């Protein structure tokens, strides 16, 4: 069986106009601007500031469980179990 690569492409008949696509809905510039401003307000860094990338360092000391809040002690116990 021979396969034709352009078999699925249908060419219009001579004299037939191609079907025009439906244009997208007009963009609401005010809505887009509001969304951009809201997103920028949620960002903690100012324009031009570099993006901070956290880096794990094992140079610090671990606070003993006796000095930690109960929530932290429970979190540590949960991490040990996993």
5-51 pLDDT, tens digit each: 555 555 656 677 888 999 999 999 999 999 999 988 887 777 788 88
Dihedral class, residue 76 (left if φ above 0, else alpha if ψ from -120 to 50, else beta): alpha
15 or 76, higher pLDDT: 76
Q: Is the predicted pLDDT of residue 4 greater than 70, yes or no?
A: no
CA dihedral 38, 43, 49, 53 (to 10 degrees): -150
- What's the average model confidence in pLDDT over 54-78? 94
5 or 73, higher pLDDT: 73
pLDDT at res. 18: 86
């Amino acid at each position: 069986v021979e396969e034709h690569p352009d078999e699925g492409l249908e060419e219009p008949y001579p004299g037939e106009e191609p079907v025009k696509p439906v244009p997208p809905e007009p963009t609401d510039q005010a809505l887009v601007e509001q969304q951009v401003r809201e997103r920028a307000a949620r960002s903690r860094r100012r324009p031009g500031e570099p993006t901070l990338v956290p880096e794990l360092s094992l140079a610090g000391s671990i606070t003993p469980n006796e000095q930690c809040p109960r929530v932290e002690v429970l979190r540590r116990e949960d991490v040990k179990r996993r």
